[in-house]
Structure 1
Amino acid sequence: MKRSIFFFIAIFLVHSLLQAQTLFYNTIKVEFEKTVYVQQMYKELEPEYYERIKANLPATALSYFDFVGDTTKSIFKPGREVPVSSRSWYSPIADKNVVYSDYKSDRVVAQKPVYEETFLVEDSLAKIKWKITTDIREIAGFECRKAVGILNDSIGVFAFYTDNILISGGPESIHGLPGMILGMGIPRLHTTWFATKVEVSGVNMSNVVPATKGKKVTYKTMMEAINKLANRWGDYGKKLMLNFAI
């Protein structure tokens, strides 16, 4: 009987020690690697011409973004640059977005250059319907749980979040999970975002402020303007414009 009591006490102490060692963070800097699966994307966009042009397309295209934030606000903006081959026919799209999120007031200010026009979207944070799954994956040293979501009732998203980081944010304007999103993919865009490194100390929040330049619009009026432009290019243009919907 005494052995059983001692055994359960030992189990309790070990569990308590492990719990005490679990660390939680509320201010971070994350570098995200964005991967566009270019050939897959163009195979869908240009099925009739794909075989002719695929030799001039990279299999993937990488770009980097920085996320800096705490539990009240964050900014997501372009990070270090990656050289682009002059021989490639691929031209990055939606790669200059600067997204400021205010989690306390449920507001977003997103600067989105769209060809010759720059929009400054001021609106409420996106509404995303999430369903959390049991799948687990490690990203940048953090154990992350998978969730699947629907943005704007039409765009499917999968995301991996960690509740060790107490920020309900993620790449672009994706948010709303009980922890920080460190990995994300949008199948319709043939694009993923995954954290390559996470800094949890000495994070400078002084530059976490919204952009100010651009034509002030709501999300709805921006998409209406973009869709008018996309209509000139048919289905090809409409599919590309989805990149600005996030």
Structure 2
Amino acid sequence: MIKYIFYFTTLLLSIVSSYAQDFQGMAVYESKTSMADLNNRLDSNKDITPEMRKMIEERVKGMFEKTFTLHFDKVASIYEEEQKLDAPGQDGGPFKMMSSMTGGGGKQYKNVKDKKVMMEKDIFGKEFLVSDSLPVIKWKMENESKKIGNYTCYKATAQMPVDKSNMMNFRPKKGAEEKIKKLQEEGNEEELKKTNFMDMVEMPDFVEVTAWYTPEIPINQGPANYWGLPGLILEVNDGKTNILCSKIVLNTKEKVEIKEPKKGQKVTQEEFAEILMKKMQEMQQMGGPGGGGRMRMGG
């Protein structure tokens, strides 16, 4: 009898181990960023006609509303934006480029065992592979719960290190917008052209986030840079952007290979942020009075 019990236990452990190794799932997330800042700027600009405003809002909508897919197993995940076709008459251009600099673009790989994150980024046709350690998130468990779909979720809050590769995290320095407005009113184009982008904006070190996770899917994964809770994160809000899970499929029949991306020049997040700043300054100079020529990459 002891022999059979030992055999049964060994067989059960083998089945459980096999299930754990083969376990895989897929979650779809809808990301929406508040357009309040954009609307305020459009409201304050008297030169923008209703037709121009509608065109701008339609063109930048893709930057503020995105759909992502998260493929995950027990330790790793791939997070990727759903690719959409441009509307008729729109070839992407600067709007497509800006979208890749606001949290979209290529794949993001997270490995919670190795504490590693890798992101594919593209700036003006040059590919980068941003590789770094997973950000440390000190979650505080809150005494609140709610349903998201069929899953019971629990609330957690944290101060999250800011993703410096996402332009959406920039904010104007105090008095910066007033200074620009004054120069515009004075028609001081020379000073406007000299204005350094980096002198006008800043990026906070941390942002307050609220997450909702479900222990019913016991993996510490989530969308974007979020991870580290005792269950899959189904919703997260940083005060400006809300990411909400709209679909979950567990143990998908077609397995997706979850592996590190390899495409692009390998840089750290800090190095990529410096490259991003430099290219944004070039873009500003090209768009200013007397600006022209092609923007170059490298160097």
Assess same fold via TM > 0.5. Answer: yes
2:227 maps to 1:170: no
**1:35 aligns to what?**
32
1:74 CA drift (Å): 0.9
- Distance in 1, matches of 2:132 and 2:76, equals 15
Corresponding residue pairs, total: 208
* 1:1-246 → structure 2 map (5 Å cutoff): 27-37=24-34, 39-43=35-39, 48-49=44-45, 52=48, 54-56=53-55, 57-58=57-58, 61=62, 62-79=65-82, 81=84, 84=87, 92=99, 93-152=102-161, 153-187=205-239, 190-202=240-252, 204-231=254-281
Query: In the aligned structure 1, how far is the partner of 2:25 from the partner of 2:86?
Result: 27
Aligned mates of 1:45, 1:203 — CA distance in 2: 48
Q: Which amino acid aligns with 1:141?
A: N
**1:80 and 1:221, CA in 2 relative to 1: closer, same or farther beyond 3 A?**
closer
Instruction: Please list every run of at least 4 consecutive aligned residues from structure 1 whose deviation after the TM superposition is greater than 6 angstroms.
Output: 87-90
Q: Residue 221 of structure 2 contacts residue 232 of structure 2 at CA under 8 Å; is this kept in 1? A: yes
SS in structure 2 at match of 1:128: coil
Deviation at 1:224, TM superposition (A): 1.9
Unmatched 5+ stretches in structure 1:
1-25, 235-246
**Structure 2 unaligned regions, length at least 5:** 1-22, 162-204, 285-299
Please identify, of 201-210 and 133-142, the stretch whose mean Cα deviation from structure 2 is larger.
201-210
Which structure shows the higher helix fraction?
Answer: 2
- The offset of 1:191, in angstroms, is 2.1
Give the letter for the 1:126 counterpart. Answer: P
Q: Cα offset for 1:232?
A: 5.2
Residue 223 of structure 1: SS of its match in structure 2? helix
Give me the whole-angstrom Cα distance separating, in 1, the residues matched to 2:245 and 2:129: 26
Q: 8 Å contact 1:28–1:203 — kept in the other structure?
A: no
Q: What's the RMSD between the two structures over aligned residues?
A: 3.2
State the TM-score, normalizing by the size of structure 1: 0.71
Q: Is the 8 A contact 1:111 1:120 kept in 2?
A: yes
Distance 1:220 1:43, change over 3 A: same
Change over 3 Å in CA distance of 1:81–1:225 after alignment to 2:
same
